Amino acid sequence: MEPHYHINLFWSDEDACWIADVPDLKPCSAHGSSRAEALANVNDAIEGWLEVAAEKDLPIPAPRYRPAIYATT
């Protein structure tokens, strides 16, 4: 089972599209004309990122990123 990585999803006025970014996998991001398209594209990007890392025997980071709304004091 693949780990679940947090995805930041936001609208970019500059690029006029939705951006999906995976903070734990640098650099792993994608874009799309809709939220759903950006998410589908970034899921493909995550899969590709993990495949390449495994093929090259590179370390695969554990999911660690949590947005500030989940921060505890």
Q: Which domains does the chain possess? A: 8-70 (3.30.160.250)
CB 32 within 8 A of CB 45: no
- Reading the block at residue 4, the tokens are 């679940």
Complete DSSP assignment for 17-28: EEEEE-TTSTT-
Q: Express each pLDDT in 6-65 by its tens digit.
A: 999 999 999 999 999 999 998 999 999 999 999 999 999 999 999 999 999 999 999 987
Q: Which amino acid is at 35?
A: R
| CA 58 – CA 52 distance, rounded (Å) | 8
Rg for the chain (alpha carbons), in Å? 13
| CA 19 – CA 55 distance, rounded (Å) | 27
- The pLDDT confidence band at residue 4, using thresholds 50, 70 and 90, is confident
Report yes or no on whether pTM surpasses 0.85: no
